[in-house]
A and B are shown apart, each in its own frame.
Chain A
Amino acid sequence: MNSEITIKLPRCKGCGICVAFCPKKVLAIDELGKVIIVNPEACIACGQCELRCPDYAIFVDKKVEK
C-alpha cells in the first residue's frame, strides 16, 4: 500500500460520490451508510475522492519512503 487514506467518519454522509469516482474500486458504502475502505492495496492515491468529497471527510496522502 503506497497511500494513506484518512476518513473523518463523523463528517461522512454516505452520498457515494467518492465510491463512484474511485477508478480502482477502493471504497464502498457500509451497512451504516458510511464510507469504508474495502481494497486499500489497490489505491493509487489519485485523490479523486478527496477532490470531490462535499463533506471534507476523506483525505488521501501518498506514502513517502522513509
Chain B
Amino acid sequence: MERSYEKYFRQNRLPHLWCPGCGNGIAMKAIVKAIEMKGLDQNKTVIVSGIGCSSRASGYMDFDTVHTAHGRAIPFATGIKMANPELNVIVITGDGDCTAIGGNHFIHGCRRNVDLTVILFDNNIYGMTGGQASPMTPTGKKATTAPYGAVDHAFDACKLAEAAGATYVARSTAYHVQHLTDLIAKGMDNKGFSFIEAMVQCPTSFGRKNKMADPAAMMMWMRDNAVMKAAWDKLPEEKKTGDKFPIGVLYEASDIDYATAYDHVIDLAGGAGK
C-alpha cells in the first residue's frame, strides 16, 4: 500500500544519491512524518539546507526548498522567517555545515531565538568530500585527515545550542526513528529556535575507517549506547563514560522569539511598514 508520506517526496528524484545504508534517508523520513503529524501546509513550509550530504535532503522534499551556501542555511532561513513570519521554516544541516563552516551563524541563530526548526544530521564526518574529520568527529576516531585518530575534542552541539540561547534542544538517533519523529514534531510546536540533533550512520566514510562498515552494526551501536534523558540523569557520573550519550529533550525554555521581538521594535519606531 502506498504510504501517505510519499506525497512529500519528489518522486522523480528518488532513489536518492546517498550511499547504501546511509542514515540520512531515515532522518529525512522522520522529518516528513513529523510534518505530516503536525499537518503543516505543504505550501507554507520552507525547507532550507546548506551544503553537504545531509543538505541534499532539500532536493528530495516536495516543499518550497532552498539549497543555500555552505554553512549559511540559518541566515537564509532567518531572512525567510523575518520576511514572512507565517511560514514554517525548517533547516536541514550537517555536522560540518552547522558547527564548522556555519558555526557562527548557528550560535547567533540560537542567540536571537529565531522561530526555526533546525535538524542537524550528525554523521561525525565530512562524508561527501571524502571523509575528513569534522568538529563532531569523536576524539580518537579515525578520518582521512586524522589517520591516527582525531586529536581535537568534539563539539557537543546540543550543549552549544543550549548555551547560545536555543529554547528547545533535543537529540535522537537513526535507530530511534519514532522517537526522532516525535522530537522533531515537538520542535515544530516550539515558538523559538528548536534544535534537534539526529545521529545518523555514515558507513562509507566514518564506518569504514572505524571498523564499523556495516550500517546495521552502526545502528546497533546507537541502540546500545543511547540512554534516554530520564535514565541518564539518574546515572552515576562514573557510568557516563565511554560511548554513552543522552537522547531525548535535553533542554527547554521559554523566551520571546525574534519575529515578535522585532514587532515590538517596529511599534516603538512608529509602526512603519505595518
Contact = CB atoms under 8 A, between A and B. Distances in A.
Q: Do A and B come from one complex?
A: yes
Specify which of A16, A17, A55 lies most central, judged by the most chain B CB atoms within 10 Å of its CB: A17
Given A11-B15, A15-B215, A54 B178 contact: no
B250 interface: no
Nearest to B29: A56
Main secondary structure of the interface of A (DSSP, over half): mixed
B27 to A, nearest CB: 9
Interface residues of B, number: 28
Contacts of B3: 56, 59
A1 B177 CA distance: 27
A51 B177 contact: yes
Interface string A51-63: 1111111010100
Contacts of A57: 15
Given A10-B15, A61-B1, A15 B175 contact: no
Interface string B14-53: 1110111111111001000000000000000000000000
Interface of B: 1, 3, 6, 9, 14-16, 18-26, 29, 174-175, 177-178, 203, 214-217, 219-220
Given A54-B21, A59-B1, 15 more contacts: A4-B1, A13-B19, A13-B20, A15-B215, A15-B216, A16-B214, A17-B216, A19-B216, A20-B214, A21-B219, A52-B175, A54-B215, A56-B6, A56-B25, A57-B15
